[in-house]
Amino acid sequence: MDYKGKRVLVVGGGKSGIAAAGKLLGMGAEVFLTDMQPKEKLNGLAEVGLDDEHLVLEKEPDINLIQPDLVVLSPGVSPKLAYIQEAAHQGVPLWSEVELALRDSKALIAAVTGSNGKTTTTTLVGELAKETGKDTVVAGNIGIALSSQVDQVGDGGIIVAELSSFQLEFIEQLRVHIAIVLNLTPDHLDRHGTMENYASAKARILENQKEEDLAILNWDDTAVRDFARLTKARVVYISLKEQLDDGICLDGEDIVLKAAKQSTKIICGKELLIRGKHNIENTMASVAAALEMGLGIDQIAKVLRKFEPVKHRQEIVGKFNGILFINDSKGTNPDSSIKALQSYEEPIVLIAGGKNKGLDMTEFLTEAKKVKSLVLVGQAAEEMEIIAKNLGIKRIIRSTGFEDCVQKAIGEAEPGDVVLLSPACTSWDMFKSYEERGELFKDLVRKHYSEPD
């Protein structure tokens, strides 16, 4: 698409919006950027070089005054805002930042979506992609805006993208050559309203695929399994629970490839550094992508053996006085935190709470009945305490803030225990992001102790 001279309104001055504005300016567009924050709070804005005439800050823009040819939405922006609805009513195209970033890319695009496991899988697929020797970037919902990265990779390169439902909601022509859909559990219902709407947004990762592309779907999740009917691409299934005739599944503790009545071992699950059945699932999906990218079994196994947990996803902070501290700050919904709880056999001191996204915490707190102590923090603490008491959880501790909750968790723990930060909630009541929450958790733990065991 020729952007030269086009009037484009970028909504949101975070990483995605700043990257989108920079990309558009580089292609000759006239760019307007809006955000409810003041200029001094928008990191990177000065480097983009927009003058005050093209900034609409601390107020909503007037669509009739700007008259945009295109609106580019950052993922955290609600499309229900009146001026965005007005733009749509006037027929102005609404794109997510990833549509802008990837629309004209000549690289092979491998993308990952799902309710849980996206970041681990995206990072692992990225490491496998690098093993091909081709130029590779890993970006998207993982915390790095795609618009700032994609120009580094041309024809013959690989872009590995984590895509959220917010990002997929407003794509148009984005084609994913290797699409991974991991699972669907309730999430972001405060934005999407219903599970049907949420699932429809996730399914858009498949809609522009062609017959020569690949869709990697989770057989064990019936909703994801049914996504096969939505794509023209070849489908490869993964399964933890069933022996597939074709696909990637378990044979005992071995991850195996089943094809043409043959079974080929990839790796034993016990060789992986990442813990939990959900990470076996993430590994299977990554293996399917790696095979499609042309890697051999030995190359894949080599990468898998050395792959460590990603930051804020069951990240090992350290072992102090015999107590293992785990940072799972990216556990921002109940299902994700359930998987974290299921990964440890040791006694657990669990830190949970934050801002609920309109999700039912009952199943999560039912799983939390096994914990030694439940330390609650944030806006959701009261709601979670009521449910926890009704479920019979006996050791429930309320905290006055995040630093207090970490100190109380440390006080509850004994040698042999795990202190697990897996909040089942977003961080937005106390922090800008789950990353900020996770970094503070690590800092507080390390400051409390001197040297790890």
- Tell me: the pLDDT tens digits for 221-235? 999 999 999 999 999
Distance CA 357, CA 190 (A): 6
Per-residue model confidence (pLDDT) at position 348: 97
Residue 214 CA to residue 26 CA, distance in Å, equals 33
* Residues 269-297, mean pLDDT to the nearest whole number: 94
415 CB-near residues (< 8 Å, 6+ apart): 321, 322, 323
How high is the pLDDT of residue 196? 85
Residues of the chain with CATH 3.40.1190.10: 101-306
pLDDT at 190 over 70: no
- The answer for 416, left when phi > 0, alpha when psi is -120 to 50, beta otherwise, is left
What span, in angstroms and rounded, lies between the C-alpha atoms of 121 and 127? 10
Tell me how far apart the alpha carbons of residues 157 and 134 are, in angstroms, rounded to a whole number.
5
The rounded Cα 190 to chain-centroid distance in angstroms is 17
Of 14-18, 57-61, 184-188, minimum mean pLDDT range = 184-188
Cα gap 325→349, rounded to integer Å = 10
Q: Helix, strand, or coil here: 330?
A: coil
Q: Considering the entire predicted model, what is its pTM?
A: 0.78
What is the distance between the alpha carbons of residues 125 and 123, in angstroms, rounded to a whole number? 6
Band the pLDDT of 452: cuts 50, 70, 90: very low
Work out the mean pLDDT of the chain and round it to a whole number: 93
Q: Where are the CATH 3.90.190.20 domain residues in the chain?
A: 315-448
> β-strand 262-268 against 254-259: which pairing, if any?
antiparallel
The model's confidence at residue 187, banded by pLDDT at 50, 70 and 90, is: low
pLDDT winner (highest mean) among 48-52, 335-339, 443-447: 443-447
Q: What pLDDT was estimated at residue 271?
A: 95
Which two three-digit tokens encode residue 434?
Answer: 């789950």
Residue pointed to by tokens 């120009």: 151
Six-digit token pair at 8?
């484009």
Give me the percent of the chain exceeding a pLDDT of 70: 98
The Cα 413–Cα 19 span in angstroms is: 43
Q: How many CB atoms lie within 10 A of CB 139?
A: 26
Structural contact between residues 153 and 136, judged by C-beta atoms closer than 8 angstroms: yes
- The dihedral through the CA atoms of 255, 206, 178, 275 has a sign that is negative
CB-based burial, 81-113: b 16+ in 10 Å, e otherwise: eebbeebeeeebebbbbbbbbbeebebbbbbbb
116: CB partners within 8 A, 6+ apart = 182, 183, 185, 278, 333, 335, 336, 339
What is the predicted pLDDT for the residue at 1?
Answer: 75
Residue type at 4 in one-letter notation: K
> Is residue 53 predicted with pLDDT exceeding 80?
yes
How far is residue 134's CA from residue 113's CA, in Å, rounded to a whole number? 23
| 75 pLDDT above the threshold of 90 | no
The residue among 252, 247, 249 whose CA lies nearest residue 239 is 249
Residue 192 has pLDDT above 70, yes or no: no
The amino acid at 8: V
Q: Return the ∠ at Cα 358 (arms to 285 and 120), rounded to 5°.
A: 20
What pLDDT does 308 receive?
87
Strands 373-376 and 348-352: parallel
What is the residue-wise DSSP string for 11-64?
Answer: E--SHHHHHHHHHHHHTT-EEEEEESS-GGGSTTHHHHT--GGGEEESS---HH
What number is the average pLDDT over the span 153-173? 93
Residue 132 CB coordination number (10 Å): 16
Fold of 7-92: Rossmann fold (3.40.50)
Q: What's the CATH fold of domain 315-448?
A: Protein-Tyrosine Phosphatase; Chain A (3.90.190)
Residue 49 burial (C-beta neighbours within 10 Å; 0-12, 13-18, 19+):
exposed
Instruction: Give the residue among 262, 274, 226, 123 at the shortest CA–CA distance from 237.
Output: 226
Please provide the DSSP assignment of 251-283 as one string.
ETTEEEEEETTEEEEEEEGGG-SS-SHHHHHHH
Give the percent of the chain with pLDDT over 90. Answer: 81
- Work out the burial of residue 64: count CB atoms within 10 Å of its CB; fewer than 13 is exposed, 13-18 middle, 19 or more buried: exposed
Tokens of 129: 């992609």
**CATH code at 101-306:** 3.40.1190.10
Lowest mean per-residue pLDDT among 138-147, 174-183, 347-356: 138-147
Residue matched to tokens 């926890």: 388
The amino acid occupying position 440 is L
Within the chain, all domains assigned CATH 3.40.50.720 are found at 7-92
Mean pLDDT of the 30-38 span? 95
Name the most confidently modeled range: 162-166, 335-339, 387-391. 387-391
Cα 353 to Cα 351: distance, rounded to the nearest angstrom: 7
Residues 344, 418 contacting (CB under 8 angstroms): yes
Q: What is the pLDDT of residues 77-132, one digit of tens each?
A: 888 999 999 999 999 999 999 999 999 899 999 999 998 888 889 999 999 999 99
